[in-house]
Structure 1
Amino acid sequence: MRLEWFGLSDTGVVRDHNEDSFFCAGKEDTGLFVVADGMGGHDAGEVASRLAVETVCSSVRQAAEKEDDPIELVRRSVLRANEAVVREGTKNGSNMGTTLGGALVAENTAYIASVGDSRVYWIENGSINQITEDHSLVAKLVTAGKLTREEARNHPKSNLLYRTIGSEESVKVDTFTIGLKKNGCLLLCTDGLWGEVTDEDIHQACATEKDIRAACARLIRTANENGGKDNITAVMVKII
């Protein structure tokens, strides 16, 4: 198995600065990929997302040789990110927070962690699967059968989250483990992307563009054409 990856972030059409952050790096067959969508006034969101991403990356690097369980390594790294954002918010008197979606890829497996509504998708053989669950009020309504997915997408309170990095001293981290197959693709993205494009848009970008750089650019372009109401970030990982 070999990995190819690319990440791209855009301010969008409406916002005047970008509060998203992302990271993607690795070796030929292993890698760490993270996206985060910050929130809070006076640049607090930008600080929160960047701090969370940096903390996850440094924590994974520091503990990789000591921790035998990859999913526990990812989970603990996200917990450390939460602690770091809480400390920073307390120090500055800022009500800051961020979502976070991350994937550690090793040995044909993705070890995924999520807090908030940044998403991780797995695209394979013409199908697209949302691996993570949104920690939002409208997602709860969809699960309860009170809203359709399309109604949730256009709901005026679709951005209200009940779980984020930095909002509480402790946070529950969702974790997932999935096997990866050749020619499949992981997509990590913030709500500025998935809120403006459809599953079919994602599938078509992955299936028809010549490489993942072009696929990321196409998805961000489509999101902006459909309104670009939020910052837009996409990280793609192709299994070769």
Structure 2
Amino acid sequence: MNKRGEIMKAHFLTDRGLVRTHNEDSGGIFYNTSGQFLAVIADGMGGHQAGDVASQMATSLLEEKWEQSGKLHTPEATETWISNVMIEINASIFQHAQENEECHGMGTTIVVAIVIGDFMTIAHIGDSRCYFYTEEGLKQVTEDHSLVNALVQSGQISKDDAISHPRKNVVLRALGTEEEIDSDVKTLGLEEDDKLLLCTDGLTDKVLDEELFELMQTTDGLYEAGEKMIALANERGGEDNISLILFQYTAAEEEGEWLC
């Protein structure tokens, strides 16, 4: 079974960027009492430093609830668990914002990946993304809850227009900004050497999907690939914080267990 000291191929990287004075992103890689794997990336928003508060609250509360969770066995149970936890965390952040004037209006995007055996469950709110890399290529498996994506989906603008749209950073759904919120949840199967990328828009606003695919093909290692992604985003301006998690699935040979 996977234990805390055996993170084989999973890395969390974050960078303030070249313009912001502080980092409003948060994230981490965590294990529950059964050694099951969870990764999270959150991108905070709000006046003053409230974005920091929202993203850190989301990550810390998720870590706490995951470490206290029992062993999950099925996609259905995992989807139910993360859906309920998202509701609870949203309520906590929303209440904190209501009770603390300096935090009014704060919120955070969030994307979560839970790996159980040979499947992964993805949950997200906002425009932080999850990409799935397989032998067939790289696919974005989350749908941005953003204004420009809504415009693309309705046919009002093209995907190329969305890249340079002046309101491309307007998020339509965020954790903690409303009393009730829905998260998008889905489960996908995993095969040997599949890779996962979780990231904030500080990366995807600067680096194209094709470039992410090329960097994930590297044989230099996941951590090095992540460093190159951040360096490229900074080379192109680095106006936003940049955070990502890279993970590679490797099935263990003994007793049918797995490593992450």
TM-score when scaled to structure 2?
Answer: 0.87
Q: Percent identity?
A: 36
* 1:15-34 aligned within 5 A: 15-26=20-31, 30-34=36-40
Letter paired with 1:46: D
- Is this contact kept in 2: 1:123–1:186, CA < 8 A? yes
Q: Does 1:90 align with 2:98?
A: yes
Aligned match of 2:78: 70
* Residue from 59, 63, 70 that aligns with 1:57: 63
Of 37-46 and 144-153, deviating more is 144-153
Following TM superposition, the consecutive aligned residue runs of length 4 or more in structure 1 with deviations greater than 6 angstroms are: none
Unaligned stretches of 5+ residues in structure 1: none
Of 66-75 and 196-205, deviating more is 66-75
1: CA distance, partners of 2:72 / 2:18: 44
* 1:90-169 aligned within 5 A: 90-93=98-101, 94=103, 95-169=105-179
Unaligned stretches of 5+ residues in structure 2: 3-7, 251-260
Q: 1:160-184 CA distances to partner (integer Å, 9 max, x unpaired)? A: 1111001111101100101111111
Offset at 1:91?
A: 1.6
Q: 1:84-107 CA distances to partner (integer Å, 9 max, x unpaired)? A: 111211121222100000011111
* Residue from 46, 51, 66 that aligns with 1:40: 46
Q: 1:142-170 CA distances to partner (integer Å, 9 max, x unpaired)? A: 11122222211211101111110011111
2: CA distance, partners of 1:30 / 1:212: 20
Offset at 1:75?
A: 1.3
Structure 1 counterpart SS, 2:217: helix
What's the Cα RMSD here? 2.0
TM-score when scaled to structure 1?
Answer: 0.94
Offset at 1:23?
A: 0.9
Q: 1:160 to 1:70 in 2, by over 3 A?
A: same
Aligned match of 2:254: none
Structure 2 counterpart SS, 1:208: coil
Of 208-217 and 65-74, deviating more is 65-74
Structure 1 counterpart SS, 2:213: helix
Aligned pairs, number = 240
Offset at 1:126?
A: 5.0
2: CA distance, partners of 1:155 / 1:177: 31
* Residue from 178, 184, 187 that aligns with 2:194: 184
Q: 1:196 to 1:209 in 2, by over 3 A?
A: farther
Letter paired with 1:23: G
Letter paired with 2:238: G
2: CA distance, partners of 1:151 / 1:228: 21
- Is this contact kept in 2: 1:124–1:184, CA < 8 A? yes
Letter paired with 1:72: T
2: CA distance, partners of 1:67 / 1:106: 7
Of 169-178 and 208-217, deviating more is 208-217
Offset at 1:77?
A: 1.4
- State the structure with more CA Rg: 2
1: CA distance, partners of 2:54 / 2:247: 24
2: CA distance, partners of 1:4 / 1:208: 14
2: CA distance, partners of 1:149 / 1:225: 23
Offset at 1:30?
A: 3.4
1: CA distance, partners of 2:156 / 2:72: 45
* Residue from 64, 81, 87 that aligns with 2:89: 81
